[in-house]
Amino acid sequence: MKEVLLATFHDVEPAQQLLKRLQQAGIQAVLHDDSRLQKFWFISQPLAAIHIDVLRPDHQKAAHLIQEWHQAEGILNNAVRCPACQSVRVEYPQLTRKFVTPSLGCLLMAVGLIHREFYCFDCHYTWPPAIPLEPPRDVLGWPTESKLWHHEQGAKQVHSEQRGSPMPHPK
């Protein structure tokens, strides 16, 4: 039978707790640790590398159980969640591992042509692992730290540096 992703975690401990609970409930579940694969192929720090999979016929029952457990005990507090739909069925990076294309994708990620992103199986949303901060901007949208567009700031720094050093007096 085919296995289906049920939940994704960054760390092993919370995933093992969920795995034990599912097995106690009579659901066959398997824990997959892709951290070594991510380190080797994706040349990145492992994120969302711990997956719990269940057999396809047990998926609905397992999903219902973990939602009940989460509402009662917060068992999914450490799970990786999609920011759009709050699903715990997430993969990182956004490549399938079922065909030849991951090898090409990994090569492109290593070179920097493709950025690594999380992927949600339920709503198909992708998002970066870190959100880059935008520099402060002026009214027109130009970066305020730019000396090219705000040359007066560069001039202010030069004048303040000149004021700080005493000028030699002619004798």
Per-residue confidence (pLDDT) for residue 59, from 0 to 100: 92
Q: Are residues 96 and 156 in the same domain?
A: no
Nearest to 12 by CA among 29, 35, 41, 28: 35
Q: Are residues 65 and 24 in the same domain?
A: yes
Q: How far is CA 99 from the centre of its chain?
A: 23
Q: Are residues 120 and 85 in the same domain?
A: yes
Per-residue confidence (pLDDT) for residue 99, from 0 to 100: 47
Q: How far is CA 138 from the centre of its chain?
A: 30
What is the CATH number for 112? 3.30.70.1530
Ranges of the chain whose pLDDT falls below 50? 99, 158
pLDDT digit string, tens, across residues 55-87: 999 999 999 999 999 999 999 999 989 998 999
Alpha-carbon separation of residue 53 from 27, 102, 165 (angstroms):
10, 20, 68
Residue 152 domain flag: yes
Per-residue confidence (pLDDT) for residue 37, from 0 to 100: 63
Per-residue confidence (pLDDT) for residue 117, from 0 to 100: 78
Look up the domain containing 147 and give its range: 135-165
Per-residue confidence (pLDDT) for residue 47, from 0 to 100: 79
Per-residue confidence (pLDDT) for residue 136, from 0 to 100: 84
